[in-house]
Amino acid sequence: ARLGARTTLVAAVGRDPAGRALVESVRTDGVVARVARVAGARTGRIGVVLGPGGERSFVADRGAADRLRPDGLEAAWFRGADALHLPAYSLLGEPLGHAGRRAVDLARAAGAAVSLDLASIAPLVAGGRRAAVELIGLVRPEILFATAAEADAVLGGTVGRDGPQVLLELAPVTVVKRGAEGATVVALEEGRRLRFEVATAHVATLDSTGAGDAFDAGFLLAWLTGRAAGLSLTAALHRAALAGHRAAARQLIGGTAELPIV
């Protein structure tokens, strides 16, 4: 939404001050919030531990976030959407996993593209790499985002030169995010494989929380607008990768504001 896109959040929160603060926060940013308020469960929380250079580790209590139900989703929410973006953990567990898969179905029915980020890889591969690959295959995303570590976990090895190419078996456009080293973009266009590296400039990092999500947002919006403008796939992807890096840089420099809970 901060990039100028019309954006809707579909999620579940608890009936508590944290849930109210979260919904108010995203609405302040111009996001339409389609939120289920779950009785008896508290709003999910993530504890962030910052280390040197702004790197962080997480401790999560997902709470009500895992209680989003498929029967609570409405087809009207997805009409007119150009894309649905999902983190992989929205496909795991029940009822959330069923809700995530129904969201994909509703988005496809509305003519929207689907992008998937392999965020929080440990839960995704907990049942084994084969199960993780099969789950991704059910979604059939147009764009697949992953860090190098996440791609390693799914592929079962170090992501070398050929690793991103292997990911094309899961999505026609795959983006491997490499932090300060930039990103690798690979794609299929009429049977031809495209691959390029996009470097990023060094920035003084205040807090890396949300930088990967910001990259996804910038990339996805630029890819959609480039496609609508009739750009070639190569040109659209180059522009998208640069836009992703710019969005991530703004997040790295600005950090994440504390959410006031009253």
- The answer to whether 114 and 140 have CB atoms below 8 angstroms apart is yes
Instruction: Sketch the domain layout of the chain as residue ranges.
Output: 1-68, 81-254
- The answer to whether 57 and 73 have CB atoms below 8 angstroms apart is no
Whole-model pTM: value is 0.85
Assigned CATH for 81-254: 3.40.1190.20
Give 160's contacts (C-beta < 8 A, 6+ positions apart). Answer: none
Q: Are 1-68 and 81-254 the same fold in CATH?
A: yes
From first to last of the 262 residues of the chain, give the pLDDT tens digit. Answer: 888 899 999 999 999 999 999 999 999 989 999 999 999 999 988 777 766 665 667 677 888 999 999 999 999 999 999 999 999 989 999 999 999 999 999 999 999 999 999 987 788 888 898 899 999 999 999 999 998 888 888 887 655 555 566 788 899 999 998 877 888 999 988 888 888 888 776 554 555 555 678 889 999 999 999 999 999 898 898 888 888 867 776 655 555 555 555 4
- The answer to whether 233 and 196 have CB atoms below 8 angstroms apart is no
What architecture does CATH give domain 1-68?
Answer: 3-Layer(aba) Sandwich (3.40)
Instruction: List the one residue out of 65, 67, 56 whose CA is nearest residue 210.
Output: 56
